[in-house]
Structure 1
Amino acid sequence: MAAEDLEWERSKISNQDLNMMKKLGLMKKEDAIRFPSEESYPNPPMEYRVSFVDHLIRGLSAPIHDFLRGLLFLYGIQLHQLTPNSILHISIFITLCECFLGVPPNWALWKRIFLLRRNASRNAAYNIGGVVICVRTDVEYFDVKFPDSVQRWRKKWLYIHEESANSVEHNIIPFDGNAKIQRRRSWDAEASEKKATEALMSRIHQLQNTRGKELSGVQITAYFLRIRVQPLQARKNPLWTYAGVNDANRLSSDLSAKDLEKLIRRISRLNKKDPVPSSCRVEPYSSTNPLPENHPTMSSLPPLPEDGEVEEQAIVAEDNQEKLAEANNRADTLVQKLEQSEAARKKAELVASEAKTEADEAKAKVANVEELQKRLEDAESALNEQKTAQAAREEGILKRLKSQIRRTETQTNQGFDLENPVMILSLTHFPISGASWVRDSGRCIEC
């Protein structure tokens, strides 16, 4: 089983989550959402994609917005690889563009403000929520006040209905839990994008810094939750044409003040003491506050490409896609070879380790044999020395015996045979300590 598979487990969606999704109108349309039964790994039905409860309450709904479709396509990622805070970043950006800038979501502006990076800790490289959208350090943008951590969101997964489109770039690729996250050139900003978005950035700075009319990320979040339009859902009309309670894009009636505050505190870093904004300090564009005819940001946008250019770009994109697929295949082959090489290396290291152990054991045995041999040689030397000393002592004893025999023969005129040392003496008197003894046939008789 792949490491990515281990991140999935049986979905655990609480009754509180179900009630919140019902209040948001996310379950109003039949078959818009399907919940997994007992499976511990996603197996979505045809035309369904894997998402999470925390994605939906942050503005996602199917069919999803074209901007999010393009973002997934150009970044080469899947929906389940985005964190909840990343989804909220996209919702706020679309709301900012349509309600406060009066323009469709602009890809060049997006890349100037945001970057994509991998989401990893010291102990893990994630696939679920494996990428994070964050604001570039050199850009002044809204302080959204995200919560420090979103707990247990990976365990609350479900299926959302997503109809297929004709063009490849408008389709969300089918779910693949083992898909690798690979960095692309599209993750980086380009100089041309910076020049084309100067007017839009100036308007954003004006919204941030106008005294008494400062706009914040929390205000934008509260606004799209209040008007009951999901920013990441495909809509016929942009939000600058919002028509109030009669708007066709509304999913539900207004949330109660209690539910709205509870939801905003859940997806932001506001605590119980922080006030929840009841309205924006800047009036958003809508049917009651329409765009001016000489809207500056509309005229500052780069012109759209002609039909021929679009077709040419599509051909180039298709060609690039084929090249990317070939590169991915080569990369997969190299990864497979690398894994095989790694396995061979580990096997060789194991064999070398075993051989070293055997060599160490053999050296120890040789050392023991050499020690035993030395001890044997020392013992033989000691034995030889003892034999030599014993022979010398025996020779000395023989010399003394022979000398004694000679003295005895001189004194007694009797011979003595060392080989048969039995001496027969005739009756002879030997004065010993004033007494007389007679030795007869080897026996002593007191006289």
Structure 2
Amino acid sequence: MEASSAAPEAGTGRGQEASSSGQGSGVDLSTITRGAWKGSDVTQPEIDWLYRSRRIPAEVSCRLPRDELEPAPEPGEYVVFLAHFERGFGLPASDFFRQFLDFYQLQPHHLPGNAIFYLTCYATFMEAYIGLRPTREAFARFFCLRINSVQGKNIPKPKPPVKCGSCIIGSRQGSPFFNFSGLESCRAWQETFFYVKNKGAADFINLPAYQPRTPSRANWSYNPGTNHIETNRIVRFMEQLMKDTNICSDNIIRAFISRRVLPLQRRSHKISEMCGPRDPTKITSCVLTKEDVVLKARQICQTDMPMDWEWGFLPLSSTNPPTDEACERFPRISAEARGPCRKRDVDKVDPDPYVPWMDLKMGWAHTSRPGNFSTNDSGSDDEVTVLEVTSRGQSIRHRRPKQFEPTLLPPSAPSCCREALRKREMPVASGDTPPGPHILLKQARYHAVPAKLLPPLWGQHKCGVRGPEPTTTREEDLPSPPEVEDTGASNTDVGTEDAGRTEHLVPSAPKKKKKKSTTSSPSKTMPEPSVPAASPPAKGQPETAAPSTAEPPAAPTGQPAAAKPTPPEGTDGV
């Protein structure tokens, strides 16, 4: 393992200097834990989730790591990361992603989770707002690559690069591109590796073979500047777009999330040519609400996107194609026109629903993804990783056995609701009343996560679980090309098992009305229940007041009733 970190870099000799300086100072680089391999804890239910959500096609087989700390693929296997799949990556990898790796001589383990997010945002802007396939020339104009080296006071310069995540993608100085912020707590992403392999002769992976080496920094200084004609036109087009519209970085983030598409996956056509819920490039035909789009965005980046967001500039689609001026400025738009493709069947349930942070595979809560709450899971799911925050703010992960596995909840239900259900099902003494929803939600807080990192409280369900979806359909089946077989290896229908949709778990408490002054009309105020001012508790009863089981009072005249959650508006039917 030391040999991989001390491998010499081509044409520079920096690797040899780093190795000799580290050995000369007596520093044992094998003891460095930052950016080092620490094994993998990916489970089979997480692999099943990748198949259900069409992130991995059926033509690819997956194998879980055993007890190795560093990847040890067998012949024909490739190393991939679950953290990458959660940020817009999918198999087979897109041609742009493969060209990016080959041009800079990088491996997937060189790119941390935030780097994949930046690549996803760049590809989304190129396809959804210009109508072009992403290119390395435009990427090099907007972004630069930096080395992530081992840190330590005892390590002399030049410091060697870390083994995992050694390539950092950042905005180039003076770049006109949008600014994005990844998660600062995206740690332990390298613990999500596993192996994939093609089942047949066709390549459904499109990744370079695994090599346990550090980056050679080839072409890292490449910048076309103003020498590339199309890139110059892209810069002028983007500057004019920012001037004429309200487009911002949040538009780009919610574009690929709401479209349910993976920008770094090989697809039959671009985002600008998508044609409705049955488009074959979607991972699912199900539609996300505005709230779910925001919550999913906050899982992969830092954003202040409001829950009632509106499009600053509508992304392109088959019903909103690029303008004639854009097609004239960029001839490649017409050259990359979509060919015939087939429609996809409508999904009955969402295979990739919103899951709270406690069930993410990265960040502060290092636990399992959807599907790991079933009692029929393998023995590897008998333990759950929890996080404790010490008085100094340090995070410590440890494993504890699961003590309760309710079977009445869907697989994607968060742990807070399961704890609440467990307390409600506990036997109570005769005459006792179970605590109300407000007490359950207070008791079911995420004890392991600081308050500032909790997911936002939206709607009337503070646990982040949404009620039943409205029965009305919100997307129309837009016209699409003839239904002929798609010969491309893109977004193949895989898997028959679907994750359950989240259900209404805890009844929402009626909203409290603000007390008005005594001079206001009594007919406009909510009637308060007549409760004795100082009634002593009954013998053997707790002093806490039991929640009322009566129906909530009707809304007063002149005030509309609480509206049901509705899907987002303005998604242009795509």
Category of TM-score, reference length = shorter chain: 0.5 to 0.7
Cα distance in structure 2, aligned partners of 1:285 and 1:96: 10
Q: Deviations over 1:325-377 (max 9, x none)?
A: xxxxxxxxxxxxxxxxxxxxxxxxxxxxxxxxxxxxxxxxxxxxxxxxxxxxx
Cα distance in structure 2, aligned partners of 1:196 and 1:142: 19
User: Are 2:319 and 1:288 equivalent residues in the alignment?
Assistant: yes
Cα distance in structure 2, aligned partners of 1:277 and 1:65: 32
Kindly indicate whether the alpha-carbon contact (under 8 Å) linking 2:161 and 2:214 is maintained by their aligned counterparts in 1.
no
User: Are 2:299 and 1:266 equivalent residues in the alignment?
Assistant: yes
Kindly indicate whether the alpha-carbon contact (under 8 Å) linking 1:63 and 1:233 is maintained by their aligned counterparts in 2.
yes
Q: Among 236, 244, 257, which residue is 2:276 paired with?
A: 244
User: Are 2:180 and 1:144 equivalent residues in the alignment?
Assistant: yes
Aligned residue in 1 for 2:77: 48
Kindly indicate whether the alpha-carbon contact (under 8 Å) linking 1:103 and 1:297 is maintained by their aligned counterparts in 2.
no
User: Are 2:119 and 1:62 equivalent residues in the alignment?
Assistant: no
Q: Deviations over 1:149-181 (max 9, x none)?
A: 4122121112244699999xx96331112x131
Q: Among 255, 263, 284, which residue is 1:223 paired with?
A: 255
RMSD between superposed Cα atoms in Å: 3.3
- Listed as ranges, the gaps of 5+ residues in structure 1 are 305-447
The one-letter code matched in structure 1 to 2:273 is: T
The one-letter code matched in structure 1 to 2:127 is: E
- Listed as ranges, the gaps of 5+ residues in structure 2 are 6-29, 31-35, 153-159, 337-574
Kindly indicate whether the alpha-carbon contact (under 8 Å) linking 1:93 and 1:105 is maintained by their aligned counterparts in 2.
yes
Q: Among 208, 214, 219, which residue is 1:185 paired with?
A: 219
User: Are 2:240 and 1:209 equivalent residues in the alignment?
Assistant: no
Aligned residue in 2 for 1:93: 122
Q: CA deviation at 1:277?
A: 6.7
Q: CA deviation at 1:62?
A: 0.9
Cα distance in structure 1, aligned partners of 2:198 and 2:134: 21
**How much identity, in percent, do the aligned residues show?**
23
Q: CA deviation at 1:22?
A: 6.5
Q: Deviations over 1:374-416 (max 9, x none)?
A: xxxxxxxxxxxxxxxxxxxxxxxxxxxxxxxxxxxxxxxxxxx
Describe the SS at the equivalent of 1:158.
strand
Q: CA deviation at 1:190?
A: 3.0
Q: 1:97 to 1:117 in 2, by over 3 A?
A: same
1:276-425 correspondence runs (5 A): 276=307, 278=309, 280-294=311-325, 295-299=327-331
Cα distance in structure 2, aligned partners of 1:163 and 1:116: 34
Using the size of structure 1 for normalisation, the TM-score is 0.58
Kindly indicate whether the alpha-carbon contact (under 8 Å) linking 2:55 and 2:91 is maintained by their aligned counterparts in 1.
no
Kindly indicate whether the alpha-carbon contact (under 8 Å) linking 1:11 and 1:36 is maintained by their aligned counterparts in 2.
yes
Q: 1:260 to 1:283 in 2, by over 3 A?
A: closer
Describe the SS at the equivalent of 1:197.
helix
Kindly indicate whether the alpha-carbon contact (under 8 Å) linking 1:47 and 1:163 is maintained by their aligned counterparts in 2.
no
Q: Among 113, 117, 120, which residue is 1:84 paired with?
A: 113
Kindly indicate whether the alpha-carbon contact (under 8 Å) linking 1:116 and 1:133 is maintained by their aligned counterparts in 2.
yes
Cα distance in structure 1, aligned partners of 2:287 and 2:114: 22
Kindly indicate whether the alpha-carbon contact (under 8 Å) linking 2:79 and 2:194 is maintained by their aligned counterparts in 1.
yes
Q: 1:205 to 1:15 in 2, by over 3 A?
A: farther
Cα distance in structure 2, aligned partners of 1:151 and 1:21: 21
Q: CA deviation at 1:87?
A: 0.9
Q: 1:278 to 1:214 in 2, by over 3 A?
A: same
Cα distance in structure 1, aligned partners of 2:99 and 2:149: 24
Q: CA deviation at 1:195?
A: 4.8
Cα distance in structure 1, aligned partners of 2:217 and 2:306: 40
Q: 1:207 to 1:187 in 2, by over 3 A?
A: same
Cα distance in structure 1, aligned partners of 2:225 and 2:199: 36
Cα distance in structure 1, aligned partners of 2:273 and 2:301: 27
User: Are 2:207 and 1:175 equivalent residues in the alignment?
Assistant: no
Q: Among 185, 190, 193, which residue is 1:154 paired with?
A: 190
Aligned residue in 2 for 1:349: none
The one-letter code matched in structure 1 to 2:265 is: Q
Cα distance in structure 1, aligned partners of 2:151 and 2:60: 40
Cα distance in structure 1, aligned partners of 2:162 and 2:3: 9
The one-letter code matched in structure 1 to 2:317 is: S
Q: CA deviation at 1:244?
A: 1.6
The one-letter code matched in structure 2 to 1:265 is: R
Describe the SS at the equivalent of 1:240.
helix
Cα distance in structure 2, aligned partners of 1:193 and 1:16: 49
User: Are 2:98 and 1:72 equivalent residues in the alignment?
Assistant: no
Kindly indicate whether the alpha-carbon contact (under 8 Å) linking 1:145 and 1:270 is maintained by their aligned counterparts in 2.
yes
Cα distance in structure 2, aligned partners of 1:14 and 1:131: 27
Cα distance in structure 1, aligned partners of 2:169 and 2:183: 15
Q: Among 128, 146, 155, which residue is 2:164 paired with?
A: 128
Aligned residue in 2 for 1:339: none
Q: CA deviation at 1:234?
A: 0.7
Q: 1:16 to 1:164 in 2, by over 3 A?
A: closer
Tell me which structure has the larger Cα radius of gyration. Answer: 1
Q: CA deviation at 1:64?
A: 0.3
Q: 1:131 to 1:162 in 2, by over 3 A?
A: farther
Cα distance in structure 1, aligned partners of 2:292 and 2:104: 35
Q: How many residues align?
A: 296
The one-letter code matched in structure 2 to 1:42 is: P
User: Are 2:44 and 1:12 equivalent residues in the alignment?
Assistant: no
Q: Among 131, 135, 143, which residue is 1:106 paired with?
A: 135
Aligned residue in 1 for 2:66: 37
Cα distance in structure 1, aligned partners of 2:311 and 2:200: 37
Q: CA deviation at 1:256?
A: 4.5
Q: Among 207, 219, 232, which residue is 2:264 paired with?
A: 232
Aligned residue in 2 for 1:367: none
Describe the SS at the equivalent of 2:170.
strand
Q: 1:298 to 1:289 in 2, by over 3 A?
A: same
Describe the SS at the equivalent of 1:246.
coil
